[in-house]
Amino acid sequence: MPRGDEKYDLIQSVPLFSECTGDELEAIASSADLIDVPEGMELVTQGKSTNELVAIAVGEVEVTKDGQPVARLGAGDFFGEIALITGAPRTATVSATEPSTLLVLTDREFWRLAKENPALPSAVLKVFAERLHPDTF
Ligand code: CMP
């Protein structure tokens, strides 16, 4: 598990946070959990009511809906934005396809950071819309 400066560097490597200032990156580093997960671990379960936002610092995940694969996401991508924004149950199941390092933000931490850095919710809303209505984009 990376510590200190490594955590800061991993956060900075995620495009979602690329517009953040040094102070904002420090705030993210202190409020987000960096976790290592093994290959095969189910991270988010379709239909469950959880609402963290998860960014992938290292690794890859698969997104399945009703048991069918719909996407693979890798380093720099994020998931969990739909439940974060709507408060509805998870729309898909997300599992690690390789050992991965993830940055986990609770909804409360996300909205607190969003107040100080409006680029953050804008970037999340863009991806939210693209995933809900891929034909429009
Ligand atoms: P959420 O519904 O909170 O939890 C499951 C997540 O899977 C969802 O948010 C999105 O982040 C992600 N997801 C759902 N559908 C797709 C898709 N078609 N492509 C990529 N990611 C998706």
Q: Decide whether any atom of ligand 1 lies within 6 Å of the 71 Cβ.
A: yes
The pLDDT of residue 7 is 87
Specify if 45 maps to a domain: yes
Residue with CA at minimum distance from ligand 1 atom 7: 92
Question: 59 φ, ψ to 5°?
Answer: 115, -160
Full residue range of the structural domain in which residue 126 is found: 6-106+118-130
Specify if 64 maps to a domain: yes
As a whole number of angstroms, the distance between CA 90 and CA 28 comes to 24
Cα 77 to middle of ligand 1, angstroms: 11
Question: 56 φ, ψ to 5°?
Answer: -95, 115
The pLDDT of residue 106 is 95
Specify if 113 maps to a domain: no
Q: Which residues pair with 71 in a beta bridge?
A: 63
Domain total of the chain: 1
Q: Decide whether any atom of ligand 1 lies within 6 Å of the 43 Cβ.
A: no
Cα 131 to middle of ligand 1, angstroms: 7
Q: Decide whether any atom of ligand 1 lies within 6 Å of the 92 Cβ.
A: yes
Q: Is the model more confident about 137 or about 68?
A: 68
Average pLDDT over residues 51-80: 97
Specify if 89 maps to a domain: yes
Q: Decide whether any atom of ligand 1 lies within 6 Å of the 7 Cβ.
A: no
Q: Is the model more confident about 20 or about 43?
A: 43
- 94: domain CATH number is 2.60.120.10
Specify if 135 maps to a domain: no
Specify if 111 maps to a domain: no
> Residue 5: pLDDT band by 50, 70, 90 thresholds?
confident
- pLDDT per residue over 39-58, tens digit each? 999 999 999 999 999 999 99
Specify if 98 maps to a domain: yes
Q: Which residues does 129 contact at the CB level (< 8 Å), separation at least 6?
A: 136, 137
Specify if 10 maps to a domain: yes
As a whole number of angstroms, the distance between CA 29 and CA 27 comes to 5
Sign, CA dihedral 4-76-98-33, equals positive
Sign, CA dihedral 8-35-80-97, equals positive
The pLDDT of residue 4 is 63
Question: 45 φ, ψ to 5°?
Answer: -120, 125
